[in-house]
Amino acid sequence: MYGYVSERRSPVRGQGQHVLVVADGPEITELLSTTLELAGYHVEVAADGAELAARLSEHRFDLVVLDTTLTDLGGVPRRHRLTPTGPPPVLFLTECDSLGSLIPDLGLGEVDYVTKPFRIVEVLARAQVLLRGRGAGRGDGSPRYGDLVLDDAACQARRGQRALDLTPAEYRLLRHLLVNAEQVFSKNQISRHVWGEVRAENAIEKLVSRLRRKVNQEEPALIHTRRGFGYWLGRATL
């Protein structure tokens, strides 16, 4: 049987990376998506090869977890076919007797596999290894969410290849929202974190507005307002 969600006590933690899960059956899909979310990843799921291809054409993912026992992948598993604009690393879930067909893919570098039945702690560990090698040394533990990356040593932020020109207050706020992605913070909470004291509401509104303009130039927008509650960072769902 597969590992239980309680195995999430593993020290392996994500930093908001965007993971696409394509698994064979609702039970495995639920187990993987729930565990990865609890471990700090932002997770989406696809049911088959057609949906996988569609998701990859619409969004940027940091990792694909792909079950090779699916019967309707339509030839998608080949890593070089996953996306035409820089394929994400792929973690294959495969039966032992299917390893031979994966050899060409396993030789490409940013591909790994876990044999079924798998243990969740192994999935998390292999995912971390693949993500550590993703993109110019991003395995240094720098805070990140998708293509938004912070460099704490230089107090600088980047969205994709674009550097963000942030004030010290904007950087403190962005870091607080990023490391607590998907969590809503009130104006008072933001004020105390950024300045160490409660300031006027219009000061917080102006700060968030400036930061939002700088961060949300690319899609998807990452900084949002929850009316009556506060502000949060993440990918909004319709």
Residues of the chain with pLDDT under 70: 1-13, 71-87, 96-110, 132-141, 237-238
pLDDT at res. 12 = 53
Going from the C-alpha of 218 to that of each of 62, 212, 215, the distances in angstroms are: 17, 11, 7
pLDDT at res. 19 = 92
pLDDT at res. 122 = 81
CATH code of the domain in which 102 resides? 3.40.50.2300
Those residues whose C-beta lies under 8 Å from the C-beta of residue 36, and which sit 6 or more positions away, are 14, 19, 21, 43, 65, 124, 127
Number of domains in the chain: 2
On whether both 109 and 154 belong to a single domain, the answer is no
On whether both 64 and 127 belong to a single domain, the answer is yes
pLDDT at res. 97 = 53
pLDDT at res. 74 = 56
Calpha distance 216→224 (Å, rounded): 9
Residue 155, Ramachandran bin (φ over 0: left; ψ between -120 and 50: alpha; else beta): left
Packed helices 120-132 and 26-38: angle between N→C axes, nearest 10 degrees = 60
For the entire predicted model, the pTM comes to 0.49
On whether both 31 and 105 belong to a single domain, the answer is yes
Residue 69 lies in a domain: yes
On whether both 14 and 132 belong to a single domain, the answer is yes
Residues 233, 220, 32: CA angle, nearest 5 degrees: 70
